[in-house]
């Protein structure tokens, strides 16, 4: 491998001058600069980013650490990547496969230090585990869960969004609304918060939040959702489904089709997330709730850049408002 010293020797200058040329520092004479440039390209020299990082402490990379690459997080990654482009930084996405031990490792100080900053989305860790995290670089939490600690935190309005979704189903005539992907425990995690929104909306409308209509899921996949809703449909009749994610809603639509129920005539469906692909779901787009387009990545980047600029700034907790995207799975 060709190093900076090799270039320096070939150009008849010191390594430091090569470094100055590469980093565009001013105090190098034009002839020297040109000479060095030539040698660099002749030798095909490229900086060793690892050595630079060790020495200068900068990587120009930002990490996005999430439970999986597909669906919601993939879209988020694409948005963030394009937003980082102008500043010359790179987004690298890392998946924890939604496993607690993989999360702990990916969130470790050692791994975080590989980047200039990180967005981390916690799936399995408890609030206490997150509070114990040692973050050697600026970190913004993209959280479903409520995180009682000193990190910057961007959170979707889970309860509000779920309430909005459920209310719109009620307004459009639903009376028996299942929550697909409801809570399997009492923790304030994503399923529980979205279920809370469902419960509150029902109760405010004078309807009862029937526990029999809470359908917990393990993986929140379309396939699992389809199967679980199918079992519900075998034992009782419903006229609305609030799916806790758009991916889950996709499975719900499939189950309803199998059961020969018409959407939105017999059963109305509302999702959560507003995925790009949801606009193209049958029969003319999935009704769903979500933040304004690109609002979440924009705010996330603002939080991170603020933290990078001032490591001592007080931690901010920002809640992203949700709005309705009424499409064809509701009347």
Contact residues: DNA, CB under 7 A: 1, 3-5, 12-17, 19-20, 22-23, 26-29, 31-33, 47-48, 51-52, 54-56
Identify whether the C-beta of residue 117 lies closer than 8 Å to the C-beta of residue 139: yes
The nearer residue to its own copies, 85 or 87, going by C-beta atoms, is: 85
Q: Which does 226 bind (CB under 5 to 8 A by kind): DNA, its own copies, none?
A: its own copies
Across 266-295, b (16+ Cβ under 10 Å) vs e yields ebbbbbbbbbeebeebeeeebbbbbbeeee
43 binds its own copies (CB under 8 A): no
The reply to whether 236 sits near its own copies by the rule CB under 8 A is no
Length of the chain: 331
What is residue 315's DSSP assignment? P
Residue 282 contacts which entry, its own copies, DNA, none (Cβ below 5-8 A, type-dependent): its own copies
Site for its own copies in 134-173 (CB under 8 A): 134, 136
Dump strand ranges (E) for 96-228.
117-120, 139-143, 152-156, 177-182, 214-216
Q: Does 117 bind its own copies (CB under 8 A)?
A: no
Is the Cβ of residue 166 or residue 247 nearer to its own copies in the bound state? 247
Query: Min. distance of Cβ 203 from its own copies in angstroms?
Result: 32
**At its nearest, how many Å lie between its own copies and the CB of residue 260?**
12
280 binds, among its own copies, DNA, none (CB under 5 to 8 A by kind): its own copies
Q: Which is nearer to DNA, 14 or 97 (CB)?
A: 14
Phi then psi dihedrals of residue 159, to 5 deg = -65, -45
Distances from the Cα of 198 to the Cα of 104, 122, 276, 325, angstroms: 32, 23, 24, 17
> In this chain, which of 11, 13, 36, 75 binds its own copies, going by CB under 8 A?
75
- The answer to whether 120 contacts its own copies (rule: CB under 8 A) is no
CB-count burial class (<10 Å; 0-12, 13-18, 19+) for 235: exposed
Nearer to its own copies, 93 or 207 (CB): 93
Q: Which is nearer to its own copies, 17 or 222 (CB)?
A: 222
Q: Segment contacting its own copies (CB under 8 A): 47-55, 174-182, 206-214, 316-324? A: 47-55
Of the residues 9, 33, 37, 113, which one makes contact with its own copies according to CB under 8 A: 113
CB 225 within 8 A of CB 199: no
Contact characters 261-290, its own copies, x per CB under 8 A: ---------------xx-xxxxxxx-----
Tokens of 69: 């690459």
Q: Which helix (H) or strand (E) holds 240?
A: strand 240-243
Give the C-alpha separation, 266 to 136, whole Å.
Answer: 54
- 30/234 with CB nearer DNA: 30
Question: To 5 degrees, how large is the angle CA 232–CA 233–CA 237?
Answer: 110
Position of tokens 């309860």?
159
Q: Is 204 in the site for its own copies (CB under 8 A)?
A: no
CB of 100 to DNA, least distance (A): 25
Tokens of 89: 């930084």
Nearer to its own copies, 69 or 313 (CB): 69
Nearby residues of 214 by Cβ (< 8 Å), 6 or more positions away: 178, 179, 182, 183, 195
C-alpha span between 208 and 232 (Å, rounded)? 18
How far is the C-alpha of 253 from the C-alpha of 263, rounded, in Å?
8
Residues found near its own copies in the complex (CB under 8 A): 1, 44, 46-51, 53-54, 68-71, 73-75, 77-78, 81-82, 85, 90-95, 97, 102, 106, 108-111, 113-114, 134, 136, 221-223, 226, 247, 250-251, 253-254, 257-258, 276-277, 279-285
């Amino acid at each position: 491998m060709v190093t900076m010293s090799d270039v320096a020797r070939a150009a008849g200058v010191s390594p430091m001058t090569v470094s100055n040329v590469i980093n565009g520092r001013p105090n190098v004479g034009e002839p020297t600069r040109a000479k060095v440039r030539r040698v660099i390209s002749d030798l095909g020299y490229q900086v060793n980013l690892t050595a630079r990082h060790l020495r200068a402490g900068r990587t120009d990379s930002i990490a996005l650490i999430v439970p999986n690459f597909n669906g919601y997080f993939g879209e988020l990654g694409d948005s963030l990547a394009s937003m980082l482009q102008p500043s010359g930084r790179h987004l690298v996405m890392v998946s924890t496969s939604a496993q607690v031990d993989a999360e702990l490792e990916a969130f470790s100080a050692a791994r975080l230090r590989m980047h200039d900053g990180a967005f981390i989305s916690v799936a399995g860790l408890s609030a206490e585990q997150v509070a114990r995290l040692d973050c050697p670089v600026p970190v913004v939490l993209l959280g479903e869960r409520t995180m009682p600690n000193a990190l910057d935190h961007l959170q979707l309005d889970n309860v509000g969004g779920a309430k909005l979704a459920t209310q719109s189903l009620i307004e459009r005539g639903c009376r028996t609304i299942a929550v697909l992907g409801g809570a399997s425990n009492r923790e304030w995690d994503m399923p529980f918060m979205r279920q809370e929104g469902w419960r509150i909306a029902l109760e405010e409308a004078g309807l009862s939040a029937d526990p029999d209509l809470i359908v917990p899921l393990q993986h929140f996949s379309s396939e699992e959702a389809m199967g679980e809703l199918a079992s519900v449909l075998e034992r009782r009749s419903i006229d609305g489904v609030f799916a806790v994610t758009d991916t889950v809603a996709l499975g719900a639509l499939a189950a309803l089709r199998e059961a020969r129920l018409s959407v939105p005539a017999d059963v109305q469906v509302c999702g959560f997330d507003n995925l790009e692909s949801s606009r193209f779901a049958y029969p003319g787009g999935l009704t769903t709730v979500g933040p304004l387009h690109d609002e979440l990545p924009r705010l996330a980047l603002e939080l991170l850049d603020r933290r990078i600029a001032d490591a001592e700034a007080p931690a901010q907790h920002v809640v992203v408002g949700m709005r309705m995207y009424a499409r064809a799975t509701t009347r």
